[in-house]
Amino acid sequence: MTDDASDIAERKMQFLFALRSKGVTDMRVLTAMEKVDRGPFIRGYFAARAYEDMPLPIACGQTISQPSVVGLMSQALQVTPRDKVLEVGTGSGYQAAILSHLARRVYTVDRHKRLVTEASEIFRDLDLTNITAVTADGSFGLPDQAPFDRILVTAAAEDPPGPLLAQLKIGGIMVLPVGQSDTVQSLIRVTRTETGLDYDELRPVRFVPLVEGLGRDG
Ligand code: SAH
């Protein structure tokens, strides 16, 4: 192996080791995360730190989540290859790219048009043809494509938004951070049963807030 190739192999091993040591054990999720290089999703100054298990800044004042949190959320969502998934909060597109390897179809929405445009370019470059990225206020879900088997929200709301709960199929699962402040949030899982909704609290997390309306860039 050339030095470059062995550096990349070493970095990948460390990346996967960090995921496992933080509790990402689902083989389908680990395989998906091995396939998706985080590098292209981070531009500029922080690009060099793409392989660290750290959240990093992206355009529009947003953040790409920590890889282990992406792994834990993907695992908690229990995605199957038949699922149609909605992600609210496209950001860099990294989480959507992981979901595209786990699901049949992925819709991802962000209130910032610039993020949707940039993420769509990466999906095209990577040939991830089962993802559709849309500029919209995701707190209303995506009524045209509803209902969904799985919904993942990657920005924190005070409570699970009603329209998202309404767009979840029976047997469907939604994973989202909830909390009243920027600092104290819990990752929860909501399952729609025949008779109602079941809630599980998973772990403390810290996400940017879910904001109403479109970004200033449309
Ligand atoms: N999943 C992303 C990280 C998301 S950061 C990744 O893998 O990189 C949270 C994102 O939620 C931001 O891009 C922010 O613009 C978006 N967001 C916040 N409120 C929103 C809303 N109401 N509708 C859609 N997107 C929203």
- Give the pLDDT of residue 11: 86
Would you state the CATH architecture of domain 3-205? 3-Layer(aba) Sandwich (3.40)
CA of 213 to the centre of ligand 1 (A): 12
Report whether residue 94 contacts ligand 1, using a CB cutoff of 6 Å.
yes
Q: Is the CB of 210 under 6 A from ligand 1?
A: yes
pLDDT surpassing 90 at residue 200: yes
**Nearest-angstrom CA–CA distance, 191 and 76:** 11
What values do phi and psi take at 128, rounded to 5?
A: -90, 80
Q: How far is the CA of 18 from the centre of ligand 1 (A)?
A: 24
Kindly state the average pLDDT of the residues 159-172: 97
Pairing verdict, β 56-57 and 131-135: unpaired
9 pLDDT band, cuts 50/70/90, is confident
Mean pLDDT value of segment 80-87 = 98
Which protein residue's CA is at the shortest distance from atom 2 of ligand 1?
91
- Mean pLDDT for 2-27 is 88
Query: Above 90 in pLDDT, residue 64?
Result: yes
Tell me the mean pLDDT in the region 164-181. 95
Tell me the mean pLDDT in the region 175-180: 94
Q: Is 33 in the pocket of ligand 1 (CB under 6 A)?
A: no
Q: 5 in helix, strand or coil? A: helix
Ligand 1 contact via 109 beta carbon (within 6 Å): yes
Phi, psi torsion values for 109, nearest 5 degrees: -125, 145
Q: Ligand 1 centre from 154 Cα, in Å? A: 6
Looking at ligand 1, which residue's alpha carbon is closest to its atom 4?
A: 91
The answer, yes or no, to whether any atom of ligand 1 lies below 6 A from the CB of 18, is no
- Catalytic residue set: 65
- pLDDT above 70: percentage of residues in the chain: 98
Distance CA 117, CA 133 (A): 8
Task: Report whether pLDDT(218) > 70.
Answer: no
Instruction: Report CA 49 to chain centroid distance, whole Å.
Output: 19
Q: Whose CA is nearest to atom 18 of ligand 1?
A: 210
What per-residue confidence (pLDDT) applies to 1? Answer: 59
